Copies of this chain bind each other. A is one copy, B any other.
């Protein structure tokens, strides 16, 4: 009732502003959207009218009439994982500065859900879209291709982006860590991660590691794939479990720093020598990694930077400046500390 009344007669539209200012609606529209195309006198009058009526622009109508909005969908697989949040934060930073809004979608690592989200989001006539990952359903691909506007795939760096791509090679990251561990003399290396089927980037790191192990002629162990969602709490029990079931293991490459930090903290508590009894490595480069004892060897990925670059690429294209490069490998840095 109340809402109905509001939308029926309470709403203040361009017309009302126009009437009060004594101009035509289109002039008000211009004054609001392209201020310099309207004379100072009228603009001031209009601004006063807007203020007086408390007019709020209806972006829905605007988007329909101009067949485009300033809302950028951002699709990520999870919000419980810091990593994606940081990417979103990076995008946000640039987007908000440039006057764009973000619409947030969460796939829960489910490609069908992802496809549904893409479809819904495209219905909002966004000027572009940012999506985590390069592995999508065929249908998602088709939707995005046909859509024909800038799309940035982030997190991974891969060969055949739909449009633009900003990320790093997780496969190479895995290789790098394996090489590092081998250099330090470890021979019985195992990969531990959570939900490895869904989190295929972690899987890629495993594969990278596995390849190096194979080439070096070292024991190739199947990855330890935990069912739970990745949490700092999970690392400790995982460490204990690996040590019990595979006592000959001398190094663990955890899928991420949360797990690795959890393991180190537990080792400390239980008096397990790191790296004496077993070496521990992580991935991400969280701030925490350098604070624990021993400090954690890890691979730093520039998450927020990925977000910033992705957004920048997108906006460059929207401003019809062509982006620097269609594909950006932000790379990574292995930081060797005391835990290995």
Contact = CB atoms under 8 A, between A and B. Distances in A.
A69 B288 CA distance: 41
A120 B146 contact: no
A261 B57 CA distance: 46
Interface of A is mostly: helix
A302 interface: no
A147 B68 CA distance: 24
Given A60-B63, A122-B56, A71 B103 contact: yes
B142 A54 contact: yes
Given A2-B148, A146-B54, A265-B291, A69 B79 contact: no
Contact of A101 (B2, B69, B82, B103): B103
Among A64, A143, A293, which residue has the most Cβ atoms of chain B within 10 A? A64
22 contacts: A3-B149, A6-B146, A7-B68, A54-B146, A59-B120, A59-B123, A60-B123, A60-B124, A61-B64, A79-B85, A79-B88, A89-B106, A92-B106, A101-B120, A101-B121, A103-B104, A232-B287, A261-B288, A262-B291, A265-B288, A265-B292, A288-B288
Contacts of A292: 265
Contacts of A58: 64, 123, 125
Contacts of A6: 146-148
A69 to B, nearest CB: 7
Interface string A75-97: 00001101001001100100010
A233 B54 contact: no
Interface in A127-157: 142-143, 146-149
